[in-house]
Structure 1
Amino acid sequence: MEGSVALHDQGGAELAARLAERYWDMSDPNHQKFRDEWLVRGVVRIVVHPEVVNRFSV
């Protein structure tokens, strides 16, 4: 894939928390700890804008 990448300070922690709640067992205290740290400290959201996508078969 070729293209540009944008870094955003806003929205990353909320997105990470939603994904954690969807894919992780949030009854696990370690998972809760990660999610809570993300919400407090923040997470950088990386947005990829693909311009060229190459597909290769194996």
Structure 2
Amino acid sequence: MSNDKQLTAEDLEFLGRPLYGFLTVAGGPQPSQPRPVWFEATADGKIQLTTEPDALKVRRLRRDPRATFVVASPVGEREHWVSVAGSTTIDSEGAQELTARMAGRYWDLNDQARADQLAQMLTIDNLRVVIHPESVRRLAI
């Protein structure tokens, strides 16, 4: 296991796969509750995702911008995971484009039901959450 402050080229290759990430945000009286999310790792080593503006995670991140994010290889593959911890920023710029890109990555948009679902998602003014890594841990066996 190694610890860095930024994602490596190998991390970015792994994170380029259509895997679910698990996001945990700080804050609140209850223990943190990770949620599976679609995500995109940027070329400059940040993690971004979209969410609805009234989501609990948005309220919590506005109070305390810290978050952790982990992605693991699926069962049947050798153990491989990347964990990122850092502060977040939230804005609406680029959220719709990101949502459309991620839908194309996770779904077959030739399937009309999925295309219709994406069209519905794009009617919401989603927000883009960006995690700025301060600590990156990883394991690849």
Provide the C-alpha distance between the structure 2 equivalents of 1:38 and 1:11, rounded to a whole number of angstroms.
14
TM-score (norm 1): 0.69
- Residue of structure 1 equivalent to 2:120: 37
- Residue of structure 1 equivalent to 2:85: 2
- Residue of structure 2 equivalent to 1:25: 108
1:34–1:42 Cα change, 3 Å: farther
> Does the 8 Å CA contact 1:14/1:39 hold for their aligned counterparts?
no
Where 1:41 maps in the other structure, the secondary structure is coil
TM-score (norm 2): 0.35
Structural RMSD (CA): 2.2
**Which letter does structure 2 place at the counterpart of 1:15?**
L
Percentage identity across paired residues of the two chains: 36
- 1:43 Cα deviation (Å)? 2.0
Higher helix share: 1
| 1:6-57 deviations in Å (ceiling 9; x for gaps) | 1122211211112222442112122112211222212221100011123357
User: Where do 5+ consecutive residues of structure 2 fail to align?
Assistant: 1-83
What number of residue pairs does the alignment pair up? Answer: 58
Where 1:42 maps in the other structure, the secondary structure is coil
Where 1:27 maps in the other structure, the secondary structure is coil
User: Where do 5+ consecutive residues of structure 1 fail to align?
Assistant: none
